[in-house]
């Protein structure tokens, strides 16, 4: 029966019934049945709907089953990291690492978290140590490659290349991570075609690569556009209606970079990859789809709740969820005073960046060029829709101009967002603040135009993208 409760929570979330799922999870935590290992999927379910306190409580019960198991400790710490408590997660793991300094799982975890915190030297130290005892860890190679700048005659590159035959005997996604790590290394040394071959080899092995449905996504975009017409009038503006600055943009378009720049302002918290508006509007969207007439008040209160769960609620955040583009209408109507920034970037550069990024969560469109092209066309259609129906709400920023002419772009952008601008903003990359996306290495450097036109280097290999 206890297992049924976990299944019920997951089923309710899949059906868009957030409030009901919260009630089920809360009841399980109150009664504490013998869920044993099922506490972990329950914790992940709570994470998925923005209930960080419930997620941490469920993960704590999971650890309590056997506090001596390293894997269980790492998984609990992983939940803490997902809730934004990176320091707490490290504090939990360090004593165990002191006892077992060569443990690959502990070193990989510490390396990943230090990298997210911008402590790249510490990250490299732990990742290299992880690879000493787990040389065929695709995850560790991929994480290290993300921040390491490979050069000709690089011993690390030579070592990575020599592991190809051994990695071929490992499970598929481990091979995917290896190929993407090697591809990144080869790009660093300007072996563009060989790098493309590695990304392709990894993509072919990716689980779920055939799960993307271009027609289904196009229909979903149609539904989003049609749903916008059904939205109630915007809520009356109130002083607390401005909890966030919302960023919209295609994946790999520079939203993490812009988030990090904006977060250099006073009283602004990094929003991370925050799915706040998506989870806050779950019940609203389900009711709207079934012909109901829900109000936006619940979306508003839910967003404030999940934002406080994740960030403490003491300052505004920069919310750059990859899905914000799909919820722009709901954002605009729920928070009529909130700035909404639309970041645009050359679509072929975006596509090439997506193809060479090993996404690990449900980005089924990212493993094939034709699917990437279809996905970006769908998102371009949404971008054009929002620009057409609410031009007065959008602050449109061009990525290329942002990185080439920051002195012209940023002061005006800060003013339009109601933020105080200062020269310190240009040194945003020197701040130690969490970065939880694939852009972790790029945003820890000063603004530069190196990525502009990057797709031109492999233009002859991008034919399958189609017209974007």
Query: What would the pLDDT profile of 213-236 be if each residue is shown by its tens digit?
Result: 999 999 999 999 998 888 888 887
Please check whether residue 209 lies inside any domain of the structure: no
Q: How many residues does the chain have?
A: 468
Please check whether residue 142 lies inside any domain of the structure: no
Asked if residue 394 has pLDDT above 60, the reply is yes
Please check whether residue 315 lies inside any domain of the structure: yes
Please check whether residue 159 lies inside any domain of the structure: no
Please check whether residue 429 lies inside any domain of the structure: yes
> Which SS3 state, helix, strand or coil, does residue 190 take?
coil
What CATH number does residue 233 fall under? 3.40.50.300
Calculate the average pLDDT of the chain: 93
Please check whether residue 202 lies inside any domain of the structure: no
- Neighbour-count burial of 68, counting CB atoms closer than 10 A to its CB (0-12 exposed, 13-18 middle, 19+ buried): exposed
Please check whether residue 150 lies inside any domain of the structure: no
Q: How far apart are CA 166 and CA 77, in angstroms?
A: 30
**The tokens 């967002």 sit on which residue?**
417
Sheet holding 244-249, edge to edge: 268-270, 316-319, 244-249, 340-344, 394-398
Asked if residue 292 has pLDDT above 70, the reply is yes
> Which SS3 state, helix, strand or coil, does residue 268 take?
strand
Structure tokens at 279: 């989870």
Task: Over range 129-154, report the average pLDDT.
Answer: 97
> Which SS3 state, helix, strand or coil, does residue 249 take?
strand
Task: Over range 320-340, report the average pLDDT.
Answer: 94
Task: Over range 78-95, report the average pLDDT.
Answer: 96
Selection from 468, 240, 210 nearest residue 345 by Cα: 468
Domain of residue 240, residue span: 224-454
Query: Domain tally for the chain?
Result: 1
For 253-275, write each residue's pLDDT tens digit. 999 999 999 999 988 887 678 89
**The tokens 């923005």 sit on which residue?**
50
Task: Over range 110-125, report the average pLDDT.
Answer: 95
For 406-448, write each residue's pLDDT tens digit. 999 999 999 999 999 999 999 998 876 666 555 565 666 789 9
Task: Over range 75-96, report the average pLDDT.
Answer: 96
Selection from 438, 257, 272, 251 nearest residue 349 by Cα: 251
Task: Over range 298-320, report the average pLDDT.
Answer: 90
Asked if residue 98 has pLDDT above 70, the reply is yes
Output the pLDDT for position 467: 93
pLDDT band at 209 (very low <50, low <70, confident <90, very high): confident
Please check whether residue 401 lies inside any domain of the structure: yes
pLDDT band at 313 (very low <50, low <70, confident <90, very high): confident
């Amino acid at each position: 029966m206890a297992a049924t409760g976990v299944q019920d929570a997951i089923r309710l979330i899949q059906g868009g019934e957030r409030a009901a799922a919260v009630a089920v999870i809360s009841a399980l935590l109150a009664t504490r049945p013998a869920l044993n290992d099922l506490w972990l999927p329950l914790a992940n379910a709570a994470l998925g709907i923005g209930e960080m306190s419930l997620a941490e409580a469920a993960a704590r019960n999971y650890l309590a089953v056997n506090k001596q198991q390293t894997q269980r400790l790492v998984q609990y710490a992983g939940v803490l990291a997902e809730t934004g408590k990176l320091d707490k997660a490290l504090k939990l793991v360090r004593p165990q690492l002191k006892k077992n300094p060569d443990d690959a799982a502990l070193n990989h975890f510490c390396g990943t978290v230090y990298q997210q915190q911008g402590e790249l030297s510490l990250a490299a130290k732990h990742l290299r140590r992880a690879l000493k005892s787990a040389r065929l860890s695709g995850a560790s190679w991929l994480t290290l490659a993300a921040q390491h700048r490979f050069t000709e005659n690089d011993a690390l590159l030579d070592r990575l290349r020599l592991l190809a035959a051994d990695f071929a005997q490992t499970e598929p996604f481990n091979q995917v991570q290896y190929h993407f790590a090697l591809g990144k290394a080869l790009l660093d040394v300007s072996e563009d075609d060989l790098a493309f071959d590695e990304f392709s080899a990894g993509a072919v092995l990716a689980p779920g690569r055939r799960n993307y449905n271009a027609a289904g996504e196009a229909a979903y975009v149609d539904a989003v556009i049609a749903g916008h017409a059904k939205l109630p009038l915007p809520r009356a503006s109130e002083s607390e209606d401005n909890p966030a600055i919302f960023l919209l943009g295609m994946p790999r378009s520079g939203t993490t970079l812009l988030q990090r720049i904006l977060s250099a302002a006073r009283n602004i918290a990094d929003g991370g990859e925050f799915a706040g508006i998506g989870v806050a509007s779950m019940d609203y969207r389900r009711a709207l789809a079934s012909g109901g007439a829900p109000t936006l008040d619940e979306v508003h209160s839910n967003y404030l709740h999940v934002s406080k769960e994740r960030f403490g609620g003491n300052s505004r955040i920069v919310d750059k969820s990859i899905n914000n583009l799909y919820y722009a209408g709901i954002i605009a109507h729920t928070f009529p005073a909130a700035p909404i920034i639309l970041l645009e970037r050359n679509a072929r550069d975006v596509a090439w960046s997506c193809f060479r990024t090993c996404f690990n969560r449900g980005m089924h469109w990212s493993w094939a060029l034709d699917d990437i092209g279809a996905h970006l066309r769908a998102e371009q259609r949404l971008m054009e829709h929002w620009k057409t129906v609410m031009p007065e709400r959008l602050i449109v920023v061009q990525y290329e101009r942002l990185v080439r002419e920051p002195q012209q772009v940023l002061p005006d952008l800060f003013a339009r967002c109601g933020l105080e601008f200062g020269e310190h903003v240009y040194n945003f990359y020197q701040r130690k603040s969490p970065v939880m996306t694939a852009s972790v290495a790029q945003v820890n450097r000063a603004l530069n135009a190196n990525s502009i036109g990057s797709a031109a280097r492999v233009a002859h290999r991008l034919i399958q993208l189609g017209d974007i």
